[in-house]
Chain A
Amino acid sequence: MVKRKVSIRRHLVVLFLTTVIFLVGLLLGVSVVQNRTNYLEDIASKQKIDYESLQLQSLYLDTLATNESCYSFNKILESSLEDVAVAQDKVNAYTQESKSQDYINIKREYSLAEIRYWLLNKKIQTTCPSDTVTILYFYSNENCKNCDSQGVLLTYMKEKFKDRLLIFSFDANFNDEPMINILKRENNLTEVPTLVVMNKKFSGFVEKEELKRRICSYYKDAPEECKSD
């Protein structure tokens, strides 16, 4: 007859081993995720310096505007705005995985950056007019059916129009930042998504062709994208 036994010792050893290996894997993963915060903070501090530099340039332009310096100013503004936009996307996505306080602070920083850039851009247009279109985009990560689609479409438009299109996006539900509330009131925000293309407000989802037409209508010298189809 077979002598049957329950391999309790084996189970215990295996349980111990499995737990150790499992925890190592889990900690490894978690530690990498922790680095996300560092990565986001790096972008934040870089864009802070960018902003200071831009402020200085703006001061300079106020006194001595030349076409050459205007061009480089607009270029830097556009590229650092894009940095912020990308980082903002990331922090939005990461907050969906974990609602860490680190993320909320970083998110606040980015929201402020978007507003600063928007103001700076507005101000500089008087001294350094550029043929660009600006869009204010109000979205929400919760209870917004079309925000994902609108976001995809805006990312797509940015890819198409590159530096000729400036998109400033704000989480309308982000009540941790009072400045956003001011902007919401200013624009009479009633629903998300809402787009403000130059000064014209569109409540609700704006589809591809419509959005493209709107954007194109503001260019003095329309880019290639507007001429096709």
Chain B
Amino acid sequence: MKAEVLVSGNTSFTIMIRAILLVAYFISLYVIIFWLSVLIEKRAPKPKPIKAFPRVTICIPAYNEEKNIAETLSSIAHLDYPRKKLQIIVVNDGSKDKTREEIEKFIKKHRKWNIEFIEQKNKGKAAAMNAGLKTTRGEYFVSLDADCSVSKDALKKILPYFCRNVGAVLPLIKVKDKDTIMRKIQWGEYVINFFYKKLIGELDCIHVTPGPFSVYKTKIMKDIGGYDEGNLTEDLEIALKIQKRNYKIVQILSTTIYTKAPATLRAFCKQRNRWYKGSVLNLIKYREMLFNKKYGDLGTFFLPMILISAIASITLLVVTGIFIIARPLVLKVNDLFVVGFDINSMFQSFINHLVVFDIDYAPLFLGIILFIFSFIFLLMSYRHGKESIKKNIAPIALYLFLYPFIIGVIWVVVFFDIAFRRRQRW
């Protein structure tokens, strides 16, 4: 009669799938243990609070942000920092909506703020940031996306981390609303990602300084020539440029910036397509850093890992998606056809004949081990990000089960786009 084994198929095929799974398990386990091992490291003591307040420039590039710009500007208004030491520059990057009017309205309302307003034709975010960089008078330069809100203590928490060799300091970023499924997933993702960034920062491997409130040393920014205006992901390019000059990028988790994440799957895929394509293109641009001992762990381990993890996520998508979920499902549906959809009887006989030995234990135990380590990572992430796991079961579950598949699909599209030189649609 019919064999009921959870992973079935003919022998050579099964062996291949198992081999792929085992290799994937090993690599994943290695990477998780590697980064967890950084936790054991003796860390530098917390820096002392700053005594003098240096001048800081906050530059907000805005493109079609009529709904968010006022909220972002007023969140800066609440920053706990001497007003005289703050220079705020808003750059309207040729918005097609009422962003300009919104900015002007806000400036009029808050005259004492001396908000500087630059109007430019639509040239992209990098150009807008460079325009801001040109007029900056601050010792520190902050980029701030127009859809973020800033914690009051942000600057006071960040600035103490600047010492001689530090080029940029990054705050913890969290997703502002959890109103849609996609935002829930990203909320779960961000908490883990920023803990991860903190760990990779300990080994000087941070490869992206995101738009929401990354603080740079102005002199370094000017030295390296500002942002690359033709770049798909200027925030990634600038980070690699800083790393290439061997300045430090520090990730801290003690202050939080809230950002609006894409609400729909479509918007999310569009954003990630740009990010991942940008990271591949910039890795090509900075290929001399890849596998280069001169760049330490960043060059020999972290940057190649970006590509490896991309390949891994595609493999995961194919192996789990097709061979572990779709194929057995198709077989089961086929079985149902055979018995004329008498599901009840079929299920009965399946249950009656089920034995503990049916499960393929070799990958199962490894899967459990991997799950335990991932869970430890998750636990640490939430502890460091000061979020409760209990209260966020839904975002975490959605993140764990849906995110890997979505990311896999996005990577497939990215490689396809790059291979066929498709132009980026904004």
Interfacial residues, chain A to chain B (CB-CB below 8 A): 1-2, 4-7, 10-11, 13-15, 17-18, 21-22, 24-26, 28-30, 32-33, 35-36, 39, 85-86, 88-90, 92-94, 96-99, 137, 142, 148-149, 151-156, 158-160, 167, 169, 207-209
Q: Is B8 an interface residue (CB 8 A)?
A: yes
Q: Is B390 an interface residue (CB 8 A)?
A: no
Contact with A along B1-23 (1 / 0, CB 8 A): 11111011111001000000010
One of A7, A39, A85 near B1 (C-beta < 8 A):
A85
What is the chain B residue whose CB lies nearest that of A151?
B2
* With known contacts A152-B339, A155-B1, A17–B296 Cβ distance under 8 A: no
A interface secondary structure, majority:
helix
What is the chain A residue whose CB lies nearest that of B3?
A93
Complex-state Cα separation, A1 to B301, whole angstroms: 20
Report yes or no: A6 in contact with B296, Cβ–Cβ below 8 A: yes
Query: Which of B29-37, B86-94, B305-313 forms part of the interface with chain A?
Result: B29-37
Complex-state Cα separation, A178 to B79, whole angstroms: 87
One of B2, B34, B369 near A25 (C-beta < 8 A):
B369
One of A21, A85, A94, A209 near B369 (C-beta < 8 A):
A21
Interfacial residues, chain B to chain A (CB-CB below 8 A): 1-5, 7-11, 14, 22, 25-26, 29-30, 33-34, 37, 165, 203-204, 246-248, 293-301, 331, 334-335, 338-340, 342, 345-346, 348-349, 352-353, 355, 357-358, 360-366, 368-369
Report yes or no: A4 in contact with B296, Cβ–Cβ below 8 A: yes
Complex-state Cα separation, A26 to B370, whole angstroms: 12
One of A7, A30, A96 near B203 (C-beta < 8 A):
A7
Complex-state Cα separation, A15 to B27, whole angstroms: 10
Report yes or no: B37 in contact with A14, Cβ–Cβ below 8 A: yes
Contacts of A89 in B (CB 8 A): 1-4, 353
Contacts of A154 in B (CB 8 A): 1-2
Complex-state Cα separation, A142 to B13, whole angstroms: 13
* With known contacts A14-B34, A156-B349, A158-B349, A2–B3 Cβ distance under 8 A: no
Complex-state Cα separation, A160 to B22, whole angstroms: 41
Report yes or no: B247 in contact with A2, Cβ–Cβ below 8 A: yes
Contacts of B33 in A (CB 8 A): 14, 17-18, 21
* With known contacts A4-B296, A21-B29, A208–B340 Cβ distance under 8 A: yes
Report yes or no: A2 in contact with B340, Cβ–Cβ below 8 A: no
* A137 to B: closest C-beta gap in Å: 7
Q: A25-B369, A148-B2, A155-B1 are in contact. List 17 more A-B contacts (CB 8 A).
A: A2-B204, A4-B296, A5-B297, A6-B293, A11-B34, A14-B34, A22-B29, A28-B365, A86-B353, A89-B353, A90-B355, A93-B4, A99-B11, A137-B1, A151-B1, A152-B338, A154-B2
* A194 to B: closest C-beta gap in Å: 14
Report yes or no: A148 in contact with B298, Cβ–Cβ below 8 A: no
Report yes or no: B298 in contact with A4, Cβ–Cβ below 8 A: yes
One of B14, B34, B246, B301 near A6 (C-beta < 8 A):
B301
Number of A-B contacts (CB under 8 A): 162
What is the chain A residue whose CB lies nearest that of B360?
A97
Complex-state Cα separation, A99 to B29, whole angstroms: 29
Report yes or no: B11 in contact with A97, Cβ–Cβ below 8 A: yes
Ranked nearest first, the 7 interchain pairs of A and B with the lowest CB-CB distance are A4-B296, A93-B3, A151-B2, A29-B362, A93-B5, A29-B361, A159-B349
Report yes or no: A152 in contact with B360, Cβ–Cβ below 8 A: no
Report yes or no: A90 in contact with B246, Cβ–Cβ below 8 A: no
Complex-state Cα separation, A32 to B301, whole angstroms: 36
Complex-state Cα separation, A137 to B2, whole angstroms: 12
Report yes or no: A149 in contact with B365, Cβ–Cβ below 8 A: no
Complex-state Cα separation, A13 to B364, whole angstroms: 25
Report yes or no: A155 in contact with B2, Cβ–Cβ below 8 A: yes
Contacts of A25 in B (CB 8 A): 365-366, 368-369
A-B contact pairs, 8 of them (CB 8 A): A29-B366, A85-B1, A92-B3, A97-B11, A148-B331, A153-B338, A155-B1, A208-B339
Contacts of A160 in B (CB 8 A): 345
What is the chain B residue whose CB lies nearest that of A4?
B296
Report yes or no: B2 in contact with A1, Cβ–Cβ below 8 A: no
* With known contacts A2-B248, A152-B335, A15–B30 Cβ distance under 8 A: yes
Complex-state Cα separation, A151 to B5, whole angstroms: 14
Complex-state Cα separation, A92 to B342, whole angstroms: 25
Report yes or no: B2 in contact with A152, Cβ–Cβ below 8 A: yes
* A26 to B: closest C-beta gap in Å: 6
One of B34, B334, B349, B357 near A155 (C-beta < 8 A):
B349
Report yes or no: B345 in contact with A26, Cβ–Cβ below 8 A: no
What is the chain A residue whose CB lies nearest that of B28?
A18
Contacts of A137 in B (CB 8 A): 1
Report yes or no: B204 in contact with A10, Cβ–Cβ below 8 A: no
Report yes or no: A97 in contact with B14, Cβ–Cβ below 8 A: yes
Contacts of A142 in B (CB 8 A): 10
Contacts of B29 in A (CB 8 A): 18, 21-22
Complex-state Cα separation, A71 to B340, whole angstroms: 33
* A195 to B: closest C-beta gap in Å: 12
Contacts of A33 in B (CB 8 A): 357, 360-362
* With known contacts A18-B30, A155-B2, A158-B349, A4–B357 Cβ distance under 8 A: no
Complex-state Cα separation, A49 to B140, whole angstroms: 86
Contacts of B335 in A (CB 8 A): 148-149, 152
* A49 to B: closest C-beta gap in Å: 20
* B41 to A: closest C-beta gap in Å: 9
What is the chain B residue whose CB lies nearest that of A87?
B355
* With known contacts A6-B296, A86-B353, A149–B338 Cβ distance under 8 A: yes
